Amino acid sequence: MLLAIDIGNTNIIFGVHDGQTWRYCWRAQTVPAKMPDEYGTLLRSFFRDVGLTPADLRQTIISSVVPALTGKFQEVLARQQFPAPVLVNHTTATMLHFVVGDPAEVGADLIADAAAAYARFGAACIIVDFGTATTFTAVSARAEFMGVAIAPGLNLAASVLAGGTAQLPNIALAAPPHAIGTNTVDSIRSGVVLGYVGLVEGLVARIRAELGGEAHVIATGGLSRLIAPLTTCFDAVDVDLTLEGIRLIAERHR
């Protein structure tokens, strides 16, 4: 079995794959200040609850965009005698060719997204990942990692609006009934949610044109479920795309 650890800015996802499916999946809050002992206790409790031990694993892999935690998790795995992990980065064996200015700047999550999307479509593709930031990753038909556009995440945009104004509240994000809001909550939802749809559609159109006019578009990340029904620009939605990309990269190393 494979243990994949996806360390994001907001959450850490732990997934155990048995060769056929993701058998177990756990989430924890990302707290860079936590010590290895704390994360080690958490990982032991996850495994103990389902009757797993490190000996049940053949491989581990870490995708991290939080440098402060990368080494801590390597320490956790070593202390508990897990297999030494593969670290996802631009030097990891993937089917991708990097044509960006500095491949070392490319985040591990973006590499995993691109690997999974290209494996799925086998053609030019755009991956829109709705996370703490919303990223638009472009991959050419020749499996070239062309580059990325980065926008503030939807939750971040909403919180900045509320924090920067005296009379606008924090609200739960949802699609409004109409673009013209008739109350404060719906007005905010229109501007933030529907406005964000416009941002997504505009960037996708520009990136597709730069790729030559043809590209599959896939959405991932938790908030993809909110945005996807409001637009026709996505060919597919897969909230677990990053985890699947991490698994595919692990398979190439096994």
**What pLDDT is attached to residue 164?**
66
Mean residue pLDDT across the chain: 91
pLDDT at 168 over 70: no
**What pLDDT is attached to residue 115?**
96
pLDDT at 135 over 70: yes
pTM assigned to the model? 0.90
pLDDT tens string 17-43: 998 999 999 999 999 999 999 999 999
Q: If one looks up domain 2-87 in CATH, what number appears? A: 3.30.420.40
Residue in 6, 18, 109, 235 annotated catalytic: 109
pLDDT tens string 178-219: 999 888 888 888 888 899 999 999 999 999 999 998 999 999
Sheet of strand 11-17, all strands in order from the earlier edge strand to the far edge: 22-29, 11-17, 2-7, 59-64, 86-87
CATH domain 97-246 topology: Nucleotidyltransferase; domain 5 (3.30.420)
**What pLDDT is attached to residue 157?**
78
Question: How far is residue 10's CA from residue 129's CA, in Å, rounded to a whole number?
Answer: 14
CA 139 to chain centre: 16
Please, which residues bridge with residue 133 across strands?
Answer: 152
Buried b (16+ CB within 10 A) or exposed e, 117-154: bbebbeebbbbbbbbbbbbbbbbbeebbbbbbbebebb
- Domain edges within the chain: 2-87, 97-246
Average pLDDT over residues 129-136: 92
**What pLDDT is attached to residue 166?**
55
Side-chain-side CA neighbours of residue 23 (13 Å): 15
Told to judge if 186 belongs to the known catalytic residues of this protein, a careful annotator would answer no
Average pLDDT over residues 135-143: 96
pLDDT tens string 88-125: 999 987 889 999 999 999 999 999 999 999 999 999 99
Question: How far is residue 218's CA from residue 240's CA, in Å, rounded to a whole number?
Answer: 11
